[in-house]
Structure 1
Amino acid sequence: MHPSLSTASPTFSLSPTPHQPPQPLPHVSPLTELQLQEMTSPGAPPRASQRRPTYDICQGFLCLNHHNFREMFKEKCDSSFPQASRLVLHRGAVKPTETASGRSRVSAMEKRKGRSRQLKDTGSAVTEDLTWDEVNCSVLGTNIRLLYYMGLWPLGSSRAYHAYTAFSLSFSAAAILMKVVGACYNLSDIDQVTGALSTILPMSGGLANGLFLMRRRPAICRMVRSIDRLVDQQRRYFERDERMAAVVGGAQRKTLLVTLAVSGYLFAIAGYWIFIAFLEPPSKRVMPFVQLPWMANSGLGLFWFTFALQLYTAPFCSYSTLFVEFFYLAVMLHLSAQFRVLGSRFASLGRSPAPKAKAGTESDLATADSNAVYDELRLCVETHQELLRFVRFLDDVMSPFAMMQFVAGTLAVCVVLFQAANNQDLNTNLKCAGWLPGPSLELFIYCGGAHEVVHEGEALVMAAYDSLWYTVGPRIGRAIRMVITRAQVPPVLTAGHLYPITRPTFVSLVNAAYSYYALLSQMQNK
């Protein structure tokens, strides 16, 4: 027993004092050591977190990852800066977290908060199908109804509807199989093969789109709820601004216009093909879309059954592809509209309306309250984060659809162009020339919609710079610099997680289709 001197009185205390083990040194996590090694080693490649600026809302304050802050503000940082875990902008000062325990608590809290927010944003907690009430209130209600009429989106448990879906998909698969077998009969004739492929490729793409849509319907339902929630979150901002209300309404009108125009074009082309087939006498056994070699010696009943099968399945597959594309086009246009509304919010920071004061009082817009502006900036950053999370979620869902369409559409443009340029039959030339813009339009729907998202995401840079950041305090300026740095990395939608979907991508696909056509022409000339 060792006596200890009490601090309350000058007397000695005989009470035993428990043994106090020596305090261990603060533990440095292996990840932090690895980061320090990578940052101090010469010639080491930058980490992903260093290459892409990120920012977050942490405990009500705007935060920035220390790697990115070190890159942007090297002149304000010393050599010991990488040991800090986070930097928090608090009342105009930069305060680093100091202890390892504090770093671990903040990191764990941020991870839990990020996971819960991501679940909330993507709607993954709700897995059931959409109801009619949700469809009627959704901004994508028209596109969902079109898919419902095609038998690809069951909004109920009706057995008759499921039978209709199974009938359409199974007969489409049977028609595609018959056309493939018919093309195999004439493998030596490149004209017959390319003529069959000009119909087989779009039908195969439509069938694959329908099957994949039904398989991914739970994730797509979450995506519908997420885009509706994003629109509702910013509704109070664009409803009081006529210009932004016109932008949001324009996304709906643009989707409807494209749907009517492309659907009408496809209906006219299919009607012409069917009309030409009806003009021929039944004795010639002319099919509306793909000629089958065994039809010449078949009975009249088999001929009319096959005729009706092609008459139903070819438009069904084509419209299935179009309606899936129109659905994703509507999602991308509404997403780009929300980016534009967010840009308007960034640009309006510091521009408070003139106060209602007595006559003679000057209205100085630059004297806006800094705390109110900072709170609005935090809300804008949160909305930006939600939009970026939705872009990643949309990319995961839409990427396989876009990849299938890119492959089928590029090959379809190639074979249709070959048929239109090398076939000697006038009716075949007219049909192929009329159908040639079809696959190109299907490619452009994805590329045009995704390009709008990328463009509006990049426009946030100028929108944030246009705010009155230079009149509302230094901390607003520092936060705006973070927003600008993050917005310089635009959102990207990809096909198969390989190719970015933009308008230049559409040009490259058309060039690839023409290259394939030139190769086929050389093969035929030999």
Structure 2
Amino acid sequence: MKDGEGRVSARDTSALTWDYTKKSLLWLNVRLLWAFGVWPLSNSRLHYVTKSILSLLAVGNAIENTLGVWANLGDMEEVTYSLMNAFTIAAGVAKTCHFFLFQGRYCLLVRRVDAIVSSQRGYCESDPEMLAVTRRCRKMALRMTVAAFAYLTALCLIWALSPVVVHPGERWLPFNHFPLEPAPLPLYYELSYAVQSASSLLYIQVSFAVDFFFTVVMIIITEQLMILNARLAQLHLYSGGGKLRITATRVLRKATTEDRDDMYDELCLCIDTHQEIMRLITFLDSVMNPIVLTQFMLSVMAACLTLYQQTYSPDGNSVMKSASYLPTPGIEVFVYCWGAHSIREQGEAVSEAAYSCSWFDGSPRFKRALRMVMCRAHKPLVVTAGRLYPVNRATFLSLVNASYSYFALLSRIHNR
């Protein structure tokens, strides 16, 4: 629900509907999560069925990974496979549980993003520069989401079908290999194959869907900051009213005073938008920071194990599978760092955009308000990981270094 000023109520955590997503900028990301059984868009009992299936697959995958480690103690290659799968699925399970616990906050986040876009839509429709910004950012969001899931589809096919193609008739499993002879139960191999494939393929898709949901939110916030910066830079006298300068001194003075009032009023609108964006970023951080921290920790471990597997595995099939998987943890970390860094850059650009306007033509109160905007813009707009450290490009580099450090440690242990 929206209040009288068009803002979304902070208490509006009601569930989204399919009709609402038709007009939302996040429609693709929300519907992807719906397709994977995570985000309900109706009160259908089907959602409770999908919840049960997700829970059973998580338990089944945990059992399979535990068996894989226990049955292959001493075989570092097979244990590495099991741990790689465990860390990857753990990220998807953690994100799914977080969504189920805080579903209302996710719905509120979507509504607040749509509200801030709606508040600046009128400026975009009348300005080619701002319209170009919105088109560029939204094409980027769409292409990144489609490219990510195209990569995942190819990755899933490689991992799920490789035992059948590379080791036909040998009863290998796609992720966790352990002895199945004699089989403890009828159809045990088929059941294990189905559980490993379904749980791994579903949860890695869910993990990416949540990651790119937040990434698209950050892209839209960056877009709105760029539009705000354009609005600030365009503040000047005689700015679009089609007014003509009149030679009569008294009339000119009156017209100038009115234009200065218009400048101040427009600046106040810019300040309101800036404050709304800052509140949205704070809310985004409160929803997202546990997910980011969990993803960073698990991605570092998964990347380390993948490097180890790719380096020391003598099997060409293992090398191919590890090489195809390696970009996965890197992508999941990078999209958060890139999106948060873009928000920070555009937040800092607010001060420069404010200084670029015709402030020297403004009234004294306009200049005072503008100084306040510039001072506030010097405080970075930061997204954090677990409220412990900021997320930006430097963070991505530090995590890459951490992954290599763990890999070097495993290599030393392997060479002893």
The Cα shift of 1:281 comes to 5.5
Aligned counterpart, 1:494? 384
Asked if 1:347 corresponds to 2:233, the answer is yes
Alignment of 1:180-191 (within 5 A): 180-191=66-77
**1:354, distance to aligned residue in structure 2 (A):** 7.2
Matched residue, 1:146: 32
Out of 140, 158, 182, the residue aligned to residue 297 of structure 1 is: 182
Task: Report matched runs for 1:364-383 at 5 Å.
Answer: 369-383=259-273
2:65 to 162, 179, 204: 179
Structure 1 match to 2:316: 426
1:399 aligns with 2:289: yes
Asked if the contact 2:8–2:115 (Cα under 8 Å) also holds between the matched residues in 1, the reply is no
Q: How far apart are residue 473 of structure 1 and its match? A: 2.8
Counterpart secondary structure, 2:66: helix
The residue that corresponds to 1:463 in the other structure is 353
TM-score of the aligned structures, taking structure 1 as reference length: 0.73
More helix as a share of residues: 2
Residue 181 of structure 1 deviates from its aligned partner by 2.8
Matches within 5 A, 1:34-183: 123-183=9-69
Candidates 345, 350, 363, aligned match of 1:473: 363
- CA shift digits 1:90-139 (9 cap, x unpaired): xxxxxxxxxxxxxxxxxxxxxxxxxx99x996632223111222211111
- How far has the Cα of 1:195 moved from its partner? 1.9
Deviation at 1:476, TM superposition (A): 2.1
Tell me how far apart the structure 2 counterparts of residues 358 and 502 of structure 1 sit (CA, whole Å).
49
Aligned-partner SS, 2:187: helix
User: 1:427-463, CA deviations, whole angstroms, 9 ceiling, x for partnerless residues?
Assistant: 1011101111111011111111111111111110110
Match of 1:247 in 2: 133
SS at match of 1:350: coil
Q: Matches of 1:300 and 1:254 in 2, distance apart?
A: 50
Aligned length: 406
Percent identical: 35
The letter of the residue matching 2:242 is P
How far apart in 2 are the matches of 1:300 and 1:324?
Answer: 37
CA 1:288–1:486 in 2, change beyond 3 Å: closer, same or farther?
Answer: same
Structure 1 pair 281/475, CA: closer, same or farther in 2 (3 Å)? closer
1:284–1:456 CA distance, 2 compared to 1 (3 A): same
**Partner AA of 1:197 in structure 2:** L
Query: What is aligned with 1:323?
Result: 209
State how far apart, in whole Å, the 2-side matches of 1:209 and 1:173 are. Answer: 15
- Matched letter for residue 180 of structure 2: M
**Does the aligned pair in 2 maintain the 1:420–1:428 contact within 8 Å?**
yes
RMSD: 2.4
Shift of 1:373: 0.7
Max Rg structure: 1
- Which piece of structure 1 moves more, 189-198 or 342-351? 189-198
Aligned to 1:513: 403
Structure 1 residue 216 and structure 2 residue 68: aligned?
no
Shift of 1:356: 5.1
**Offset at 1:276?**
1.9
Q: Does the residue aligned with 1:234 lie in a helix, a strand or coil?
A: helix
5+ long unaligned stretches in structure 2: none
SS of 2:90's partner is helix
The CA distance in 2 between the partners of 1:296 and 1:522, in whole Å, is: 34
Give the distance between the partners of 1:259 and 1:467, measured in 2 at CA: 36
Instruction: After TM superposition, give the deviation of residue 333 of structure 1 in Å.
Output: 0.6
CA gap 1:472/1:423 in 2 versus in 1, 3 angstroms = same
- Read off the aligned partner of 1:136 and give its amino acid letter: K
Q: In the alignment, what sits opposite 2:300?
A: 410
Provide the secondary structure at the position in 2 that maps to 1:386. Answer: helix
